[in-house]
Structure 1
Amino acid sequence: MRTKPDISAILAKLGDQLVAAEQIDGGATSDVWKVRTNRRVYALKILNECGAAANLTLDVHLRKNLSAGGAFVAAPVLSSEGFPNMSGAAWVLDEFVAGEHPARGELHKLTCLDLGKTLAILHDIPVSDFGAPQLTGSLISGEQENVFSGLATRFTNPLPIETPPAFELSRELWLKTLPYLVRIREILSTSSGVLCHSDLHDRQMIIANNRLAALIDFGDATIGDYRWDFGSLLYFHGPRVLADTVKGYEPDGTLQAKLIDSAHVFSIGIAMHIGARSLLPGKAHRLKVATVHLNKTLVYLEQNRQHLQTD
C-alpha cells in the first residue's frame, strides 16, 4: 500500500496553512477529507488504490472543463498529477461544496434547471467511440468502437433479447417491454456518443438554497447516446423532475416533448440493468423498484403511443 501524502505538504503548494482536517467519507477506493486552512475550505480526495490514478486524471480533466463551461460541479484546484515527484497516493484537492443531498424525486425546479444546464455542457464535450472513457492527452475516447460493445462496459444486460434471469417470474412484463428494447437498439444503431453521467440518483447531487451546488461522482461516466442520462433521471426521480430538467437542458423547447418520450423508452433499459444487478448479493430489493418503474412506464407509453416521439 502506498504512503498517503502529507496534507500540509499539499497545501504548501498553494501557500495555505493547515488549520484542521476531518475525514468525512471513506471506502475501499478512496478517503475524503474536509480541510480548513487559513484562507479557505477544501475537499481532499486521497485514493487508496494505485490502479485508480488514471480514473482520477480523467475526472480532474473532465471537471475542469465542465467548471470552465459554467456547469455546476466541484472545481478541482490541485492534483497529484501535477506533482509526479511527490510521494504518496494519488489525490485531488477540490473547492469544498457546502450543501446536502436532495430527497429522491423532490428536486426543486431551480435545481432541475441547473442540472439540465450541466448535462447540456457535459454532453457537448468532444468525445469519440463508445463505452468507458479514457483520456489520451486532451482527447476523451471510449474503449470500444461499437456502440453495443461500449454499452456493455457500463450496463448489465440493458437490452435483453431473451427473458433475463431476474425477470423469469415476470416474463409477461418483460415481453411487454420487448418492442421498446428493440426500439432502443434501432436508435443506438445510428446514434453518436456523448459523455453521459449515467447514474443520476439523489446521492450524486449536492444542493444549497434550492440550487444545484454540484453534480458529483463521474466514476460511472460513459460514452453513449445522450438519452441514457434522461432515462436514468426518470428512473430515479420521476416525470416532474424529468420535465423540469429538460427545460434547463433545451430552453427553446423544440425538443422537450421528444426528450421526455425518449427518456421513458430508455428508462426501460435502465430498469433492465438494475433488475439484472438485483441478482447480486444484497441487491434483491432493487428488482421490486425496477418492476414498479416498468409498469408505470409502460402505462405512459401505451397512453401516448399514437404520438410517441423517440427519433
Structure 2
Amino acid sequence: MADSPVGEHPLTEPDVRSLLRTAAPELEHLPLRLVAEGWDNAIWRLGADLAVRIPRRAVAAPLVRHEQRALAVLGPWLTEHGILSPVPTVHGAPTRSFPWHWSVVPWIAGERPLGRPREANGVWAPDLAVALHAIHRPAPIDAPPNPFRGNPLRTRDDVMQERLGLTPEMRALREAWDAGLAAPLAEERVWIHGDVHPGNILVRDTRLAALIDFGDVTAGDPAYDLAAQWLLFDSAGRAAFRGAAGDRYDDATWTRARGWAAYLTLVFLTQSDDRAEYREIGVSTAAELALSTA
C-alpha cells in the first residue's frame, strides 16, 4: 500500500541463480528477470512458466513456509473447480548467503481487477464463491497461525474504534461494525485465504483464473474471506456471489463479513498512502456499504 520498505537481503540476478543452483539446478539457466517487489516478497519471472518468490523482510519469511504447507492442501481443492493457485513446485531452503525459505511457483497468466468497474466483476462473482467454498473446509489444529485474520471481530475493536473516530461521517461503517460485533461467533474453524482483495485475484477471459498470495493463509472464521464481496462487486455481483454460495453460510456469518468489510475499508482508506488503486477500493467499498445492508 505505501512504498515498499527496503529489502533486508536484496538479491541480484546472480544471487537468485545461485539459490536455484542449490535447490533446482535444472532451472538455473532459464531466463530470469525481476518483475515485482512488494512489501513482503520479490517476484522473479523464470522462463515462460515459472516464478521465484523470495521474501524481502524477516517478518515475511514465515509466510513463505505457511504458503508452502497450506497450498499443498488447498491447491488441489481449487484445481477441482478449475481455479489455479501458486502451488510451489520447489521449496527453497536457506543458504549461507540467504537466511530464509523461498519458492518456485507456476507463472499464472491473468489480470488483477484493480481499478476495474465493479459491474465488470460480477460475471465471475460465482467463480469466487465457488473458490472460497472450496477452501473453507475444516482446518487442523496446527494450521498456520495469524494474529489478525479470521479471529473474532472483537479482537480488532480497539483499532477499529480509533479509526472510526477519525472518520465519524462514515456512519455506515460503524453500523456494519457494530452489527458484526453483535452477531453470534463462528461455530466452525476452517481454512481461509486471509487476504482476498482485487490485488490477489487473477481474471482471464471473464472468468476467475486464480487466487494468489496465500501468505496470510490461516484457520478461523470464513466471514473474513467473505468480506471480499463488498470489496469487489456491486449489488448485482454480490447477489450472484451469495447465490453461488447457497446455504453454505448462515446469516450471522454474512453479518460478520459485512463488519469485516467495514474494517478493511478503513485499512484501505488509511494505509494506502500513494497507492491510488488501493485507496479507491476503500472509497468505493465505503459507498457500497452506505447503499445497502446486504
* Shorter-chain TM-score above 0.5: yes
Tell me how large the CA RMSD over aligned residues is.
3.7
Q: How big is the shift at 1:235?
A: 3.2
Whether contact under 8 Å (1:108, 1:210) holds in the other structure is: no
Cα–Cα, structure 1 residues 125 and 275, in superposed 2: closer, same or farther, change >3 Å? Answer: same
**Counterpart position of 1:78:** 90
CA distance in 1, matches of 2:127, 2:90: 25
Q: Which has the higher contact order (CA 8 A, sep 6+)?
A: 2
Cα–Cα, structure 1 residues 60 and 243, in superposed 2: closer, same or farther, change >3 Å? Answer: farther
Letter in 2 for 1:33: W
Residue 270 (str. 1) matches residue 266 (str. 2): no
Whether contact under 8 Å (2:86, 2:212) holds in the other structure is: yes
* 1:71-220 correspondence to structure 2 within 5 Å: 71=79, 72-80=84-92, 83-85=93-95, 87-88=97-98, 89-102=100-113, 103-105=116-118, 106-107=120-121, 109=123, 111-128=124-141, 139-141=143-145, 143=147, 147-148=151-152, 151-152=155-156, 157-158=159-160, 160=161, 164-170=164-170, 173=171, 177-178=174-175, 180-189=176-185, 191-220=187-216
CA distance in 1, matches of 2:285, 2:218: 21
Q: TM-score, normalised by structure 1?
A: 0.70
Q: How big is the shift at 1:192?
A: 3.0
Residue 240 (str. 1) matches residue 236 (str. 2): yes
CA distance in 1, matches of 2:117, 2:194: 16
Whether contact under 8 Å (1:42, 1:95) holds in the other structure is: yes
- Equivalenced residue count is 270
Residue 6 (str. 1) matches residue 16 (str. 2): yes
Extract unaligned runs of 5+ from structure 2.
Answer: 1-7
Whether contact under 8 Å (2:94, 2:101) holds in the other structure is: no
Q: Which has the larger radius of gyration?
A: 1
Extract unaligned runs of 5+ from structure 1.
Answer: 129-135, 301-311
Q: How big is the shift at 1:190?
A: 5.2
CA distance in 2, matches of 1:288, 1:225: 25
CA distance in 2, matches of 1:262, 1:50: 34
Q: How big is the shift at 1:221?
A: 4.0
Whether contact under 8 Å (1:75, 1:95) holds in the other structure is: yes
Cα–Cα, structure 1 residues 197 and 104, in superposed 2: closer, same or farther, change >3 Å? Answer: farther
Identity among equivalent positions (%) equals 16
> What SS does structure 2 have at the residue aligned with 1:217?
coil
Q: How big is the shift at 1:14?
A: 5.9
Residue 58 (str. 1) matches residue 66 (str. 2): yes
Letter in 2 for 1:29: D
Letter in 1 for 2:69: H
Q: TM-score, normalised by structure 2?
A: 0.73
